[in-house]
A = this chain, B = another copy of it.
């Protein structure tokens, strides 16, 4: 498709965005390992070293891709949330939104495995948007973690989620959904169920019950007999 030289002018004009877009395509097709400076430059028709005018590193490029992907994921989660219409039953609404957000997360992971893996390959932190060792805490606008927190807030406000269990609810919920996505992506659950939808339903139900059910059973947890 690209004939290695359909660029006329010496200067590209928007190379940074072009690299980012191409690198994202690479990530989509082959995951984080496929995000290579040389390949991206080659596809654009530019020399490899040109990339270093816009990214300090290959890791830097990867982080930029990851941030973009997290924004996209957040957008889908928010869209799914907005798709649940408000009714006269605020508690059911909150639960429905929670479910919708979870489904959107898993759906993204499974339909875009390359992008999903890339999102977590570089060390971008969800809660605050800070990178593991990067100076740019701002680029993350639509934070997936924040959306989840919003839904959980709604659940707590309406009363489906007991106040005293609100505290670490996002960690527990996120863990369930993220773990499910990862395990299926890694093929760790191959052969367990023919229909992956069953797995999502079972997991989301477990999370919902685990967060909201009366904690009568929880009494045993702090002191298990055997140590």
Mark A residues whose CB is within 8 Å of B.
83-87, 89, 92-93, 95-97, 99-100, 120, 123-128, 130, 132, 145, 165, 167-180, 182-183, 186-193, 198-199, 201-218, 220-221, 224-227
Taken together as a complex, chains A and B put the C-alpha atoms of A99 and B224 apart, in Å, by 9
Pair B123/A186 contact, Cβ less than 8 Å: yes
Extra inter-chain contacts (5) besides given A127-B189, A128-B191, A206-B210, CB under 8 Å? A127-B188, A171-B202, A172-B202, A175-B180, A176-B207
29 sample A-B contacts, Cβ–Cβ < 8 Å, listed by A number:
A84-B227, A86-B226, A87-B225, A95-B220, A123-B187, A125-B188, A125-B189, A125-B191, A127-B189, A128-B191, A168-B192, A168-B199, A171-B192, A175-B175, A175-B177, A175-B179, A175-B180, A178-B179, A178-B183, A182-B182, A206-B210, A207-B210, A208-B217, A209-B210, A209-B215, A209-B218, A210-B213, A213-B217, A214-B214
In the bound complex, residues from chain B placing their C-beta under 8 Å from that of A207 are 172, 176, 206, 210
A14 to B165, CA, bound (A): 55
Q: Which of B100, B124, B171 contacts A224 (CB 8 A)?
A: B100
Q: Which residue of B lies closest to A98 (CB)?
A: B224
- Given A168-B202, A175-B203, A207-B210, the answer on whether A187 and B84 have CB atoms closer than 8 Å is no
Identical chains in the assembly: 2
Determine the distance from Cα of A92 to Cα of B214 in the docked complex, in whole angstroms: 19
The CA-CA distance from A99 to B89 in the complex, in Å, is 36
- Least CB separation from A190: chain B residue: B125
Whether B186 pairs with A226 at a CB distance below 8 angstroms is no
**With a CB–CB cut-off of 8 A, which chain B residues contact A178?**
175, 179, 182-183
In the complex, what distance in Å separates the CA atom of A81 from the CA atom of B145?
34
